[in-house]
Structure 1
Amino acid sequence: MNVLSWENISKLEGQNVMVLDGAENEFDVLIESVLEHEMNGEVHEGRNVERYTIVLLGPNHAEFPQGNYIVSHPSMGQQILYMIPGEENRYSITIDTTA
């Protein structure tokens, strides 16, 4: 099973994940939503395409600059994912397996 599949990650909406920054500080971060993109679940060149964005709500006392972070949850283990800051302590992680 692909632990980063839409099917698995969409079930985590409303749950917390642990985010580990470069200084090895750990933060509980809420998965506020998981937004499905066009073509998600379609077959492209013989492969199933995963296309979605995870929107995270971070704690008020921490800011995460754009970059790679270790994100962990029992259902997905530890994953190194690229996180982009947004507004009001929100961050996004986009998964796109088209390429």
Structure 2
Amino acid sequence: MADPTREAVLRALAELWANGCPVPAPELRERLADVGLRRWRSVARRHRGRRLSPDQRVQDLVRGLVAAFEPDRALVGRLVRDYECVARAIADVVTSTEG
């Protein structure tokens, strides 16, 4: 059974790619969606006792994506802005489809 949220995330990532964002390349989209959704959904377990604001959750997602896709986080530099776009797209989809 297909996960409608995951499918919506994949569409959002394809749109980002079409608009020039270099991070969600076609060969990375499936993994980006899986890592992003897992990270988003596990925030309560990783931040026990803390309620993060929406912006803090997006930044947490950015950290998770960078950790999963970049071998040396110190070298990410300005590319982090592109990861922020990906994280924002994932967050927007999840909040609109899962409530």
Same-fold status (TM-score > 0.5): no
**Higher relative contact order (CA closer than 8 Å, sequence separation 6+):** 2
Q: As a proportion of its length, which structure holds more strand?
A: 1
- Which category of TM-score, normalised to the shorter sequence, fits these structures? under 0.3
**TM-score of the two chains, using structure 2 as the length reference:** 0.27
Q: As a proportion of its length, which structure holds more helix?
A: 2
